[in-house]
Amino acid sequence: MVSAVFHSPLDVAPEPRTGVMLKPTPVAVQTKQAAAAVAKPAQPPKPPYDWGELMLKVLAPMAGIGLLVGIWALLTMKSTSFPTPAATFAEAVKVFSDPFYSKGPNDQGIGWNILFSLQRVAVGFGMAAAVGIPLGFMIGRFSVLNRMVSPLISLLRPVSPLAWLPIGLLVFKAANPAAIWTIFICSIWPMIINTAVGVQRVPSDYLNVARVLKLSEWKIITRILFPAVLPYMLTGVRLSVGTAWLVIVAAEMLTGGVGIGFWVWDEWNNLNVTHILIAIFVIGTVGLLLEWMLISIAKRFTYDDI
Query: Measured between alpha carbons, how far is 289 from 281 in angstroms, rounded to an integer?
Result: 12
* Residue 250 and residue 220 in contact, taking contact as beta carbons nearer than 8 Å: no
Residue 50, pLDDT score: 62
**How confident is the model over 171-214, as pLDDT tens digits?**
998 888 999 999 999 999 999 999 999 988 888 888 788 888 88
**Domains contained in the chain, number:** 1
User: pLDDT: is 23 or 127 the higher one?
Assistant: 127
The answer to whether residue 19 sits within a structural domain is no
Residue 293: what are its φ and ψ, rounded to 5°? -65, -45
* Residue 295 and residue 288 in contact, taking contact as beta carbons nearer than 8 Å: no
The answer to whether residue 100 sits within a structural domain is no
Domain that residue 219 falls in: 106-301
The answer to whether residue 120 sits within a structural domain is yes
Residue 44, pLDDT score: 62
The answer to whether residue 146 sits within a structural domain is yes
Residue 13: what are its φ and ψ, rounded to 5°? -65, 140
Q: Look up the CATH number of the domain holding residue 145.
A: 1.10.3720.10
The answer to whether residue 31 sits within a structural domain is no
The answer to whether residue 295 sits within a structural domain is yes
* Residue 112 and residue 258 in contact, taking contact as beta carbons nearer than 8 Å: yes
The answer to whether residue 229 sits within a structural domain is yes
**How confident is the model over 88-104, as pLDDT tens digits?**
999 999 989 988 888 87
With a CB cutoff of 8 Å and minimum separation 6, the contacts of 121 are 183, 241, 244, 245, 248
* Residue closest to 186 by CA, chosen among 261, 243, 130: 243
The answer to whether residue 64 sits within a structural domain is no
Highest mean pLDDT range out of 1-10, 19-28, 45-54, 295-304? 295-304
